[in-house]
A and B are shown apart, each in its own frame.
Chain A
């Protein structure tokens, strides 16, 4: 039986051990071997993740594929893993994107190829670990450990200001996470268990919940990133190699969003409720203000980085409007819709932002410039590329028929039930998103051929074509038919909304 296999452990350890194997076997002399080995391991991991999807029971909200073995017995820390509808889509996204990222670094990385490939594989394993860990300490170990490969990826293969960017990235996220550690230890000292599921049911006073919420907030908001702790992101994105930017945008930002639904909301629901105005305000600021910031960027990667922050604002908005909707309508449906929208937005943003960064990577590999001003008339020499980028730009702007539309639309509709003004402000992004994305597209693609360098550009090669086609597929498919994603998470989202609608306040 397939379901008897420890699939989650395989998903974590195949890439991690495979990555270590790539480091040990690879060398400067034989980069092609490292590339092939890494691609095979990434493909294998993706294949392993398929039974996770086929064997997943979408009708229940319980944890599935559970593995639970004692790890540190003195403190009852367990190697406890499992997935529900909230984590499964993100795991599938991770295994899918990693294959593309390995492919994206095929030619442009020539220095220490084995280390590069290994770093991405190890990163993949650790991220899956974060999404599947159900023991708080196990979660924290994965959560922190994945800083190491990312730190190296940006620092070794990044652009000119890579050292500044990577140390800033590391310290920012490290600073956020240590507060989470304190909160987790506090929860253990109160509840006596490191199991996340036990923490969900632990009654706490309002004061404690607020403090715990703030500690989690510091960890997750930095990762999302929410305004005003977003400043590491443009730096890290701009300096990272293409593969690094893709993984950062497509998966790593989702860790923050996932943290909110796995920790903040269910462990401190009353604290979240008490502070939901703060979260809504920050989300709206991110959506609107960062949208304006994106508008004026001259650097393509920076523009997409800011657009990521703006889009992630929808995720946090979708999570935290739940109580206001519930108070206004008295039913859980609206809150469920907002929450689902936020989750869909995470998945969709994973595809779209990854694709956008890959598009920039395609031209950057040829021109070694990210400045919008250096381009112009690219469509004349790269028609296939222009077609793909058109699709992704439209998706980024939230065009109906693409995944970008589904998530944003669900969040906007449900936010209307909370307050007209939330919906109003959130919808501004549809205009802004279209403005900055399409304006960039126009300046890069259309017009006369700007210079000889652009004239000499070659269109997509087969490898690049395959990568972009593989991304275009889900963007369109789930845009027209989002049911598979929504069904996968429905039961879990429902359960989460029910859980947070009930107070677990401990009256002292």
Chain B
């Protein structure tokens, strides 16, 4: 008898996604909120199931193609929690435009399902399936505003480049398969171990895998889609793309490189090193010249992915833990940042220019402080969570002996601090021009405040989350 318990979260979420889809079709007129509530409840229940079915040590399922281990539990919890917050902000956006779309949440649930599958995949094909399920849902979410030229352009760009990335990934997988004869991660590891000496074809396969991963993470030089997609997509979709999928992308990277190809660490380490330092440099420098905050945060995302990769460059278990910590903290911060853009929006117009933040401290002092906390955190200034995420990866990089890399990374973080400071300058030092305060629903405002409170709390007491991340890899 096959024990399906470890896969219960995915099974439940799949069922619920279908239920929400049906409920959305057959809901009574005027009951627009029903899909949102159903989606939120499913996510919450899934989260509890993830916690309930977790086991000590890794459990393999379905002939070893599916795994639950400590890493997958942390990632799933983070993905689900972040997505729930994302849905709260999305609702605010849609309510302001008086068009609450059930499809958005259905697609969102499918995307989340894809992420959960990626997190638990222990087989190249399952990994790929999860990735595609996530990506296809995201393409559709971006294009949901079909009258918007920008959104359609963004969706098209994302789709084409996403397809190329998937192609690269598949090509790399096929090469690895060609040499090792396996798609199962554990089997690949042992097959590579059994090989004598290096194998150029194997390294070639790794190159394609890394390119595919680089695309999915949005790391330089495969970052061209990031600013356009972030900018063109409706803000709630940007917020969604910018948060949970980053965690899933790290899962993809960890599963392929750390689980499957740990033997080739010295090869992919060098490639990731280049990606990482280029992302940090390009992201931080180009962000300075942006006038649109979504574009600015897109470049900031590129640089943050660079910092996250630093942990992988270290190539140690502690380094992976640092990356995991980084991506979770980043997801919390970025969701707050985009959430603020939604909160700032008025009468159905997006407030995504930097100038929209002018004088916010006069209009809504509380939210100016909230945004300030998020910006200082992203810049990596203590005592906020963002500092500890940078601290952790830098520590692992230095422990691994790459002090020069650490120096380069901190130098660019100083450059990066400038554009975060500029937002604070606009909010606090500039005069208010519009006189419009934030008028969002109280519930959304509370979630926003809680969001930044988490950033502060993680900044003051980062120990427990760090301990969880470290324990997951040991």
Contact = CB atoms under 8 A, between A and B. Distances in A.
A401 B435 CA distance: 57
A469 interface: no
A437 B406 CA distance: 45
A201 B418 CA distance: 37
Contacts of A178: 410-411, 413-414
Contacts of B398: 182, 185-186, 189
B428 interface: yes
Contacts of B470: 74
B463 A74 contact: yes
Interface stretch (A151-159, A385-393, A425-433): A151-159
Interface string B355-387: 000000000000000000000100001110001
A182 B407 contact: yes
A182 B382 CA distance: 15
Nearest to B369: A23
Nearest to B406: A182
B320 to A, nearest CB: 14
B429 A181 contact: no
Nearest to B373: A148
Interface in A127-169: 137, 140-141, 144-145, 147-148, 151-152, 155-156, 162-163, 166-167
A175 interface: yes
B157 interface: no
A162 B431 CA distance: 14
A178 B470 CA distance: 24
A175 to B, nearest CB: 5
A144 B403 contact: no
B410 A141 contact: no
A174 interface: yes
Interface string B13-31: 0000000000000000000
B307 to A, nearest CB: 13
Given A156-B428, A182-B410, A170 B382 contact: no
A141 B382 contact: yes
Contacts of B391: 137, 181, 185
B429 A73 contact: no
Contacts of A185: 391, 394-395, 398-399, 406
B191 interface: no
Contact of B381 (A75, A148, A175): A148
A155 B382 contact: no
A221 B126 CA distance: 55
Interface in A62-108: 71-75, 77
B467 A145 contact: no
B387 A141 contact: yes
Interface string B124-138: 000000000000000
Nearest to A24: B366
Contacts of B463: 71-74, 77
B376 A148 contact: yes
A156 B376 contact: no
Contact of A181 (B410, B417, B421, B424): B410
Nearest to B376: A148
Interface string A220-247: 0000000000000000000000000000
Contacts of A73: 463, 467
B466 A145 contact: no
B437 interface: no
B393 to A, nearest CB: 10
A186 B410 CA distance: 14
A184 B470 CA distance: 21
A144 B414 CA distance: 12
A282 B394 CA distance: 31
Interface in A158-209: 162-163, 166-167, 170-171, 174-175, 178-179, 181-182, 185-186, 188-189
Contacts of B425: 155, 163, 166-167
Nearest to B425: A163
A144 B382 contact: yes
A71 B466 CA distance: 12
Contacts of B387: 141, 144
A182 B399 contact: no
A144 B410 contact: no
B417 A170 contact: yes
Contacts of A155: 424-425, 428-429
Nearest to B468: A74
Contact of B418 (A137, A171, A186): A171
B403 A171 contact: no
A170 B387 CA distance: 16
Interface string B235-247: 0000000000000
Contacts of A145: 381-383
A74 B318 CA distance: 11
A171 B414 contact: yes
Nearest to A189: B399
A156 B429 contact: yes
A494 to B, nearest CB: 34
Contacts of A181: 391, 394, 410
23 contacts: A71-B463, A72-B466, A74-B463, A74-B466, A77-B463, A141-B382, A141-B387, A148-B381, A155-B424, A156-B429, A163-B425, A167-B418, A170-B421, A171-B417, A171-B418, A178-B410, A178-B413, A181-B394, A182-B394, A182-B407, A185-B391, A185-B394, A186-B398
Given A163-B429, A167-B421, A171-B417, 17 more contacts: A71-B463, A73-B467, A74-B463, A148-B376, A151-B424, A155-B425, A156-B428, A166-B429, A167-B425, A170-B417, A179-B407, A181-B394, A181-B410, A182-B406, A185-B399, A186-B403, A189-B398
By Cβ-Cβ distance, the 6 closest A-B pairs, closest first, are: A178-B410, A72-B463, A141-B382, A155-B429, A185-B398, A189-B399
